[in-house]
Chains A and B, each alone.
Chain A
Amino acid sequence: MALLDVRDLKTHFFTREGVVHAVDGVSFSVDRGRTLGIVGESGCGKSVTALSIMGLIPKPPAKIVAGEVVFDGRDLTKLGERQLESVRGREIAMIFQDPMTSLNPTLTIGTQITETIKRHFDLSNERARKRAVELLEEVRIPNAASRLDDYPHRYSGGMRQRVMIAIALSCNPMLLIADEPTTALDVTVQAQVLDLLDELRESHDMAMILITHDMGVVAETADEVIVMYAGQVVEQAPVLELFDHPEHPYTEALLGALPQIEGERIREARLTAIPGRPPDLVSPPPACRFAPRCPHAGGDSCTETMPELRELRSGHWVRSAHPTSERAGRPVGASA
């Protein structure tokens, strides 16, 4: 059985401008010890999905209007705040994008780590401190014991993210949700942090949800990938399958829009841009949400009815009336 099973999750924001369908019927599951990558552009609903799992969405204006989040046999959307608090941090931990603002600047690193440990376990100050040093060593902070009494400003961005990881690991969670964990970091530091996350996931036997906008990060880290667009899952597949045979026109376009680092005539070539921009999520039309930007749309039902998420091949799901494999051999209408 899956460790986490999200079923038809709908999180809407009730604003003055109308109801924003930020997450609109998202389903996926994460198995023990595996990494699920969630990839998409800003506003696609990937972070709101994560916050909904954790019960951290701002209520109001946001509300989970439908769906279940079944974690280790319990539906988290049905739990009260007190019960949820004992799951959060203890069983599911989360790290965020910006390591500069996630730590309290007025408390020492040691205080912030032991605070979490003592929140969930009955440990003496001394034992908690000892555990904090072990954790810092585990995330490879040099001279951990002496760095424990430093304030966050003495730590670089990469080191702060390591501290956040140490705090997240302090209770041995079963699931770690990492929301753009390396986006604010330089590439060389990013590689170190991703390697670290991967090794820790293995040694702690955790599952991980890695949320990112970067296809390269997904390729490096994930076992299974879901691609989100305008509040919905548009494609899901194992990582090799997704990159070898992308099916959804959006996934294809996203991969085509990436500047390449290897290859010929890169300087001369134009990138394949995706025209337009994502739709407004206030009362979106009951049609394929990518249709207005899709080179294959038009002349059929997809501009009037929403395509279902369907399994094209074993484990490969797509929400499009025109997946790549079904287009093969047929002339393409408006594609340039």
Chain B
Amino acid sequence: MADTLLSVRDLHKHFPVKSGMLIARTVGEVKAVDGVTFDVETGKTLGLVGESGSGKSTTGYCILQLLKPTSGSVRFMGKELTELGREELRQTRREMQIVFQDPYSSLDPRMTVGNIVGEPLAVHGIGSRRDRTSRVRELLDVVGFNPDFTNRYPHEFSGGQRQRIGIARALALAPRLIVCDEPVSALDVSIQAQILNLLKDLQRDFQLTYLFIAHDLAVVRTMSDVIAVMNQGKIVELGPAEQVYTKPQHEYTKALLSAVPIPDPRKMRERKVERRRLRHALASEL
């Protein structure tokens, strides 16, 4: 059996709801993440899927300690991240990185491509300036981005190319875990396929472990070994991808799967007729 790289237990993240103009009082709380538990094995992908507001991104941020969890445990490479001090956490961060959704706002427009990709190396004081320059070229080459463009700026590139820059940056410190937060939802279908293939290749070549967060059920399916379906801060279904998609157990998973438009007009028409029948049946009962 493969070893567990990341282990999340009963994770909670509650945000206070404040009211009042000058003196804000806490009048309640939003349970964005409400008792989430799962394991991710080394070299595998756990797909975290759900609709907007389900808490999937917040879960990702809490794992990386970009948000402080309200309670619960996050064990990564044998360390309890929620109890680490600043310096220890900084060291551990080298092993876990994130790729964001929007390649238009997640790259600093005033930095060159070379500096964006090399920044993590500089921050952690890895190698000489010259070492770093050659490492940056290597990284860009790995993600299929022309290394001769290191002195250009992000705005000169398309969404797909920018996402490659973001991935190269995430790879810079040779991490074990990458949290991919909706990495292709801002991209067109033809470009999306290029990036998904790239992520698959990188996983194989560097034994990466992914926490893959997305709302698109088809995208999650193509990337994931294990699927966790989230709704209102809770995981409602967790299992091997094949099983979750072919034999969904929870009603929410079933509803989600039946709502996905698939490129098959005959099947879509059958579904539509069925949905209409159900609604009329419901209406006449009332």
Show the binding face of A for B, using Cβ within 8 Å: 41-42, 186-188, 190-191, 194-195, 198-199, 213-220, 239-240, 243, 253-255, 257-262, 266-267, 269-275, 277
Contacts and interface: CB of A to CB of B under 8 A. Distances in A.
Given A187-B215, A187-B217, A219 B263 contact: yes
List 8 A-B pairs, minimum CB-CB distance, nearest first.
A216-B261, A274-B190, A273-B193, A257-B193, A220-B268, A186-B51, A271-B193, A191-B259
A228 to B, nearest CB: 13
Contacts of A260: 218, 221-222
Interface stretch (B11-19, B135-143, B194-202): B194-202
Interface string B171-201: 0000000000000000011111110110010
Given A186-B215, A259-B221, A41 B190 contact: yes
26 contacts: A186-B52, A187-B51, A187-B260, A187-B261, A194-B261, A216-B262, A216-B268, A218-B263, A220-B268, A220-B269, A243-B264, A253-B190, A254-B190, A255-B263, A257-B192, A259-B196, A260-B222, A261-B217, A266-B222, A266-B241, A267-B222, A267-B225, A270-B197, A271-B193, A271-B196, A271-B197
A218 B268 CA distance: 10
A219 B268 contact: yes
For A187, A213, A240, which residue has the most chain B Cβ atoms within 10 angstroms? A187
A259 B222 contact: yes
Contacts of B261: 187, 190-191, 194, 214, 216-217, 219-220
Contacts of B51: 186-188
B218 A259 contact: yes
A243 B265 contact: yes
A198 B218 CA distance: 24
Contact of B259 (A42, A188, A275): A188
A112 B284 CA distance: 32
B275 interface: yes
A216 B260 contact: yes
Contact of A41 (B189, B245, B262): B189
B266 interface: yes
A267 B241 contact: yes
Nearest to B192: A257
B5 interface: no
Contacts of B194: 273-275
Given A190-B259, A261-B262, A220 B190 contact: no
A254 B188 CA distance: 10
Interface in B48-64: 51-52
Contact of B188 (A41, A191, A198): A41
Contact of A258 (B191, B218, B257, B269): B218
Contacts of A215: 189, 263
A272 B197 CA distance: 9
A220 B272 contact: yes
A218 to B, nearest CB: 8
A216 B196 CA distance: 19
B256 A213 contact: no
Given A253-B190, A266-B221, 8 more contacts: A188-B255, A190-B259, A219-B261, A219-B264, A220-B265, A258-B193, A259-B221, A271-B222
Nearest to A223: B265
B219 interface: yes
Nearest to A140: B279
B276 interface: yes
Contacts of A188: 51, 255-256, 259
A194 B272 CA distance: 9
Interface string B232-276: 000000000100010000000001111111111111110110011
Nearest to B223: A267
B188 A243 contact: no
Nearest to B225: A267
Contact of A195 (B218, B262, B264, B276): B276
Contacts of B158: 277
Contacts of B115: none
B110 to A, nearest CB: 23
Contacts of A217: 261
Contacts of A272: 193
Contact of A259 (B219, B264, B265, B272): B219
Given A220-B272, A271-B196, A277-B158, A257 B189 contact: yes
Nearest to B219: A259
A218 B189 CA distance: 14
Contacts of B272: 195, 198, 220
A240 B268 CA distance: 11
Given A272-B193, A273-B190, A219 B275 contact: no
B101 interface: no
Contacts of B224: 267
B72 interface: no
Given A198-B272, A270-B200, A271-B197, A262 B262 contact: yes
A213 B222 contact: no
Nearest to B258: A191
B160 interface: yes
A274 B52 CA distance: 29
Contacts of A216: 260-263, 268
A218 B269 CA distance: 11
Contacts of A275: 194
Contacts of B279: 195
B215 A261 contact: no
